[in-house]
């Protein structure tokens, strides 16, 4: 029987290393312990987000239930996805909520885009979501990155400073160079599966088909090279055991 690998993430509230399958339980205690007393409060949704086909990339976030799907989409783009202004969509209970950015790839949406009824992302979260709901997000209808989201819970709590509060995020996967087994920094994306290389061995490859290894389920796709906002970068690896 294959050994099951445990994925770990960092709690941005207390700094602890947290196993993916224990993150919700950890946050049930950690969240109220780190709420600032006083100040404005709101009804909040606790969401878990992960790569639909790359579940090693995952995070827990908190967002006001009064925020819009546009707000959530903007956060997902900024932390994990944005490369070329592609179209995106949520699918919730069979309804597609689409963001048409007007980019040239809009021509492909009828071919590669999600099917079903299409609505706007101007909807507020509390209008379309309830605790326990599982839904999906797609970014880029050509080289698509798909995410799975779940409404883990809801509560009254402090309004997040930046609309969305990052709670826990996976440590960067340990990807190794295929030549020397050192930590990979680049992916050669001309071949599929993509080939990882360390900085030294990447120098022997064609720069035009190299993309940086970044902590995102979109790694290696299209022109993605990480968040534009440096504050959203998180490339820490799992801390060594004490």
Residue boundaries of the structural domains of the chain: 8-170, 186-228
Three-state secondary-structure class, residue 98: strand
In whole angstroms, give the CA distance from residue 227 to residue 181. Answer: 26
Mean pLDDT of 107-114: 58
pLDDT exceeds cutoff 90 at 5? no
pLDDT exceeds cutoff 50 at 242? no
Q: Which residues contact 19 (CB under 8 A, 6 or more apart)?
A: 6, 7, 8
pLDDT exceeds cutoff 60 at 82? yes
Per residue in 13-54, pLDDT tens? Answer: 999 999 999 999 999 999 999 998 888 999 999 999 999 999
What is the share, in percent, of the chain residues with pLDDT greater than 70?
91
pLDDT exceeds cutoff 80 at 110? no
Taking alpha carbons only, the member of 177, 190, 176, 199 closest to residue 220 is 190
Q: Band of the pLDDT at 1, cuts 50, 70, 90?
A: very low
Q: What is the pLDDT of residue 106?
A: 58
Residue with tokens 């809801």: 154
Per residue in 116-163, pLDDT tens? Answer: 568 999 999 999 999 999 999 999 988 999 999 999 999 999 999 899
Average pLDDT, the chain: 92
Task: Answer whether 210's CB lies under 8 Å from 199's CB.
Answer: no
Instruction: Return the DSSP state at 241.
Output: P
CATH assignment of 8-170, among 3.40.190, 3.10.290, 3.40.50, 1.10.287: 3.10.290
């Amino acid at each position: 029987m294959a050994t099951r690998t445990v994925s770990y993430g960092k709690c941005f509230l207390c700094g602890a290393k947290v196993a993916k399958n224990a993150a919700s339980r950890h946050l049930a205690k950690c969240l109220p312990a780190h709420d600032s007393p006083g100040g404005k409060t709101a009804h909040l949704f606790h969401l878990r987000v992960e790569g639909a086909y790359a579940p090693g990339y995952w995070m827990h976030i908190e967002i006001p239930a009064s925020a819009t799907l546009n707000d959530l989409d903007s956060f997902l783009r900024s932390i994990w996805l944005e490369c070329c202004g592609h179209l995106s969509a949520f699918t919730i209970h069979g309804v597609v909520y689409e963001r048409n950015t007007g980019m040239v790839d809009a021509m492909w949406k009828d071919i590669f885009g999600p099917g079903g009824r299409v609505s706007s992302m101007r909807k507020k979260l509390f209008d379309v979501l309830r605790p326990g709901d599982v839904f999906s997000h797609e970014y880029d209808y050509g080289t698509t990155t798909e995410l799975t989201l779940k409404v883990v819970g809801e509560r009254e709590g402090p309004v997040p400073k930046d609309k969305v509060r990052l709670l826990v995020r996976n440590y960067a996967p340990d990807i190794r160079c295929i030549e020397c087994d050192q930590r990979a920094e680049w992916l050669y994306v001309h071949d599929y599966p993509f080939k990882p290389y360390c900085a030294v061995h990447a120098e022997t490859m064609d720069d035009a088909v190299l993309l940086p290894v970044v902590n995102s389920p979109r790694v290696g796709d299209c022109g993605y090279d990480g968040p534009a906002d440096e504050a959203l970068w998180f490339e820490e690896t799992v801390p060594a055991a004490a």
